[in-house]
Amino acid sequence: MTSTLGAAKQHIALFDLDHTLIPIDSDYEWGEFTIALGWCDGHEFKRRNAEFFAHYQAGTLDIHDYVRFATQAIREQGATNSVAAHARFMREIVQKGIKDSALALVRRHQAAGDETVIVTATNEFVTRPIAEAFGVAELIAVELERDAGGWPTGEIRGTPSFREGKVARVQQWLADRGLDWDTVESTFYSDSMNDLPLLEKVTHPVATNPDDRLRAVATERGWRILELF
């Protein structure tokens, strides 16, 4: 029988996106962008968005309700208008928020041979082009149900990558590759207390630009704290 004792583990680098790799909330900024385009009532959108954000900060967000709200504009506008608008959003908003320090962090892991994965609670429509801008092919985001024409319905497909759902989604991603938590050495970068379940699961948790609550936890537990920007 061949022993695998001492076999080198595959290294996995997991990154939250908003306020971790980029200094903005991509979902929020996309909403603001659609207001500027005249796609929704600005006053009502801001009111509801503020309510959802307060729930997010408190850890009480209903992710299904939020995704219905966040995808309403693209569902009404359709694919052609929405894809063209997102390309503008990338040029005018997101690219300006991609810092050299964040790109360098991702590149260091890639140069070391690590598998890099962005794990975000923001939906795939908003985040796929951002992951591509970082050169990260593997994206675990909130997946959207599609209609017969392939366009989002407003519902979530499968487990949303939010709070404990991030652990479940990463675990499934590992299983699909014949891996598990014991066969990889994993690092996770995040700014948010909402990501505590995944930070507790990985080999190397890194509180990155952490909010006050996560900073306190990281300090207490001796986790690495990284100020990326």
Cite the active site residues: 16, 18
Going by C-beta distance under 8 Å and a sequence separation of 6 or more, which residues neighbour residue 134?
A: 21, 98, 102, 103, 106, 118
Alpha-carbon gap, residue 58 to 73, rounded angstroms:
26
Are 94 and 130 spatial neighbours (Cβ–Cβ below 8 Å)?
yes
What is the residue type of 87?
A
